[in-house]
Amino acid sequence: MGNVCEDEFQLKRFGFSDCPPERFYTTQWHKCPWLLFAWKLFAMLYWVAMWVATLVGAANITYWVYLTNWDVLVILMYLVGSFTVTVYGIVTKEQWIQPTDTGVRTVSGVVDPREDKTITTPVLPLRWFHMLIWQLQLVAMGLSFIVTVLYWTLFNPKFSVYDYNSHAINFVIMMLDFIIIAIPTRLLHFVYMALLSAIYCIFTAILHGAGYTSHVYSFLNWATNPGLSAGICIGITFVATPLVQTLFWCVYLLRNYLGDKVNPTTSNMTSQHVIMTPQYRSVEAGKVNPSFQ
């Protein structure tokens, strides 16, 4: 466990690496991409329908003032984007290969008969859309949790269809998605959720400065209690977000452990390393190294 924690605090963990693209196309529990496709399609259609119905009922521009509706939009972007990426992975079925000067970054074991040693299938680095979906997933997950907790602890629930969808079903959908998918979770990725929180706090301060409204929420009033408002913003941005990310990271470790028991093949996608191969010089992306054929 100590090595796992130490590894999580490397600077590279701020970025999006050490994750094969296959993890965006399959579940943690089974390698069949169609199971993930079915879930992504259902979740996307449900959330799009809910979002459209909500917009129809939104009479004015104040809809975009509330953090809840920011969360709804981020979830929408994630579910639509992740469904699209899942379809892309199923349709293309690319062989992901990463040329390097000294070897190949790898994910799954293959035997090279000429060298009598174990090598592995090389993969390309994640593309920009993989990284975008990864970012949206972790932000949507954390934000749905924060919004749901704040609503049920600080407000008087209205028990309407909209409130259930925006302050309960939102987290249920993201939690189910988090359990099903095979995308990893990094502790240091809390910075992206913290960044969105900071942007929203600055947005509410701008609304106050522009004279539009000073209290989006009862506990966030820049006119009557700017000190408390600033403290709440700092607390959510720099305390709540890393704590929430840590919670989900622990769930991720449990998901990996149980997933490896149910479907050991997914564990092959988590181990990435560089294997030195003298025969390997350069390979055109998308083609197999002739030395290994």
In this structure, what are the phi and psi dihedrals at residue 275, rounded to the nearest 5 degrees?
A: -110, 125
Quote the CA–CA distance of 222 and 230 in Å, as a whole number: 8
Q: Which residues pair with 276 in a beta bridge?
A: 103
Please, are residues 204 and 156 in contact by the beta-carbon 8 Å criterion? no
293 residues of the chain, pLDDT tens digit each: 556 777 888 888 898 877 888 889 889 888 788 899 999 999 999 999 999 988 887 656 688 899 999 999 999 999 999 999 999 999 987 544 444 434 444 444 444 444 444 444 455 678 999 999 999 999 999 999 999 999 999 887 777 888 899 999 999 999 999 999 999 999 999 999 999 999 999 999 999 999 998 888 988 999 999 999 999 999 999 999 999 999 999 999 999 999 888 877 655 554 443 333 333 333 333 343 333 33
As given in the structure block, the two tokens for residue 70 are 């920011």
For residue 210, which amino acid is it? A
Residue with tokens 């979002």: 51
Rounded alpha-carbon distances, angstroms, from residue 125 to 5, 99, 104, 168, 192 = 24, 10, 11, 36, 21
Nearest C-alpha neighbor of 28 from the set 272, 252, 273: 252
For residue 168, the surrounding DSSP H or E stretch is: none
SS3 content of the chain, % helix, strand, coil (to 5): 65, 10, 25
Task: For 215-278, give the DSSP string.
Answer: EEETTEETTT-HHHHHHHHHHIIIIIHHHHHHHHHHHHHHHHHHHHHH-GGGGGGT--EEEE-T
Q: What per-residue string of b and e applies to 227-256 under the rule 16 or more CB within 10 Å gives b? A: eebeebbeebbeebbbebbeebbeebeebb
**H or E element in which residue 105 lies:** strand 103-112
> How far does the chain reach from its first CA to its final CA, in angstroms?
39
Q: How far is CA 223 from CA 144, 168, 231, 234, 258, in A?
A: 27, 31, 14, 17, 50
Q: Tell me, what's the pLDDT at 94?
A: 57
pLDDT of residue 178: 96
Contact 65, 207 (CB under 8 A): yes
Contact of 154 with 75, CB cutoff 8 Å: no
Please write down the HEC assignment for all residues of 47-70: HHHHHHHHHHHCCCHHHHHCHHHH
Please tell me the predicted confidence (pLDDT) of residue 233.
95
